[in-house]
């Protein structure tokens, strides 16, 4: 009788291991497909320069993303980015810091230009377009 109970326990353990392996394999097999789908959705590129961090860096993004979303994506890939954002009433989400530079240091603030023109909206409201050149600089107002 004891032998029969042992076999039942062994059978239950083997079944549990097999079921766990099936679920684990399904998750592992799905990960590369999700990564490929993500890469396929990043069809547009922007040339990004950030004072003290990057010069003419090509960054891929999904159509319809805001400049803030592009920066947040870059922030997850590069620990040196150290993106800091802050919500301002009436203005939306603005960049408060990147790298080692924070707004207000030495009377300077993060500002950006797109194709040489300074947009009048924050990064969270600016929809980036394929092929644009974005330059972030740390300077005094309207530098």
Residues 68-121 have pLDDT tens digits of 999 999 999 999 999 999 988 887 888 999 999 999 999 999 999 999 999 988
Task: Indicate yes or no: pTM above 0.85.
Answer: no
DSSP string, 25-51: HHHHHHHHHHHHHHHHH--EEEEEEET
Q: Are residues 118 and 50 in the same domain?
A: yes
Q: Are residues 85 and 53 in the same domain?
A: yes
What's the mean pLDDT when you consider all of the chain?
85
Q: How far is CA 44 from CA 39, 70, 118, in A?
A: 11, 11, 21
CATH (domain of 93): 2.170.130.30
Where do the H-state alpha helices sit in 42-85?
A: 67-77
Position 106 scores a pLDDT of: 94
Number of folded domains that form the chain: 2
Position 35 scores a pLDDT of: 52
Q: Are residues 35 and 62 in the same domain?
A: no
pLDDT at 12 over 80: no
């Amino acid at each position: 009788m004891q032998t029969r109970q042992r076999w039942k326990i062994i059978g239950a353990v083997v079944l549990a291991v097999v079921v766990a392996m099936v679920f684990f394999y399904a998750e592992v097999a799905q990960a590369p497909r999700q990564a490929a789908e993500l890469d396929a959705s990043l069809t547009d590129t922007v040339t990004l320069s950030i004072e003290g961090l990057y010069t003419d860096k090509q960054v891929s993004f999904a159509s319809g993303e805001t400049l803030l979303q592009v920066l947040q994506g870059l922030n997850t890939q590069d620990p040196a980015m150290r993106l800091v954002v802050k919500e301002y009433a009436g203005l939306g989400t603005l960049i408060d810091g990147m790298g080692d530079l924070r707004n207000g240091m030495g009377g300077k603030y993060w500002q950006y230009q797109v194709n040489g023109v300074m947009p009048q909206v924050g990064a969270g409201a600016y929809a980036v377009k394929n092929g644009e050149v974005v330059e972030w600089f740390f300077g005094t107002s309207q530098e």
